[in-house]
Structure 1
């Protein structure tokens, strides 16, 4: 099996593209998770700061409510009156941008991080 000069150029370009993409993905900054926002019926109801100490609380929803637990800078739904309890099965979330969604409960829990003052673009 012999490589031609054109094959080597194509392979080199492909490897270069993947290396560039890998370096760019590695340099993406992750925002630090700071607080959890809890929405019920598409309205922000509660905002809790993520904390190390354990805290349990209850949020009323249209079908009864959900139990929520904060612990070790993570949050999860512990109980729900929804039939399949999918929001309970989603488990712990801890990174900025992660969400827990309870459809019958009309519940959304979102982890929000520090917003950086970095400008992506300016539109004139």
Structure 2
């Protein structure tokens, strides 16, 4: 009688385990792949203020209750460069480059959102 340990995993078991691990890795890479952004939407008080193409270099001042918020677009990315809000969270967000990323300046009621060529299947509100 052969040893009990040698009967636990046969060559076919190793093959199935390897194929399953490869499938899990491929599906994870597919699920977490992000779409490159092509446009930035600028909102003021919940209404669309402007939509800009990320391919062009541009700076736009958006008026709000506290003053002007400066949105900068360059090299396929966008950021809020300056804002009169006291804590500067939206400015600290830095450059956004992936579709679905958002920077929000709540005291000045201004936000930017990057959009891509295809709509996002989910966002933070979907959870």
RMSD between aligned residues: 2.9
Change in CA separation of 1:55 and 1:14 when aligned onto 2, cut-off 3 Å:
same
1:54 CA drift (Å)? 2.8
Asked if 1:104 is matched to 2:107, the reply is: yes
Q: Is 2:59 the counterpart of 1:47? A: no
Q: What is the distance in 2 between the residues matched to 1:17 and 1:106? A: 48
The normalised TM-score by structure 1 is: 0.73
Tell me, yes or no, if the aligned pair for 2:45 and 2:109 is still in contact at 8 Å: yes
**SS in structure 2 of the partner of residue 27 of structure 1:** helix
Q: Distance in 2 between matches of 1:55 and 1:35?
A: 12
* Structure 2: runs of 5 or more not aligned: 120-127
Q: Distance in 1 between matches of 2:58 and 2:109?
A: 22
- What pairs up with 1:26-65 in 2 under 5 angstroms? 26-28=29-31, 30-51=34-55, 53-65=56-68
Change (3 A) 1:81 1:22: same
Q: TM-score, normalised by structure 2?
A: 0.72
Is 2:37–2:99's contact at 8 Å kept on the other side of the alignment? yes
Structure 1 or 2, whichever has the larger Rg, is 2
Worse-matched range after superposition: 67-76 or 25-34? 25-34
| Structure 1 residue 66, shift from structure 2 partner | 0.5
- How far, CA to CA, are the matches of 1:56 and 1:42 in structure 2? 20
Distance change >3 Å, CA 62–CA 15, structure 1 → 2 = farther
Residue 27 of structure 1 deviates from its aligned partner by 2.5
Cα drift, residue 33 of structure 1? 1.4
Number of positions where the alignment pairs a residue of Structure 1 with one of Structure 2: 112
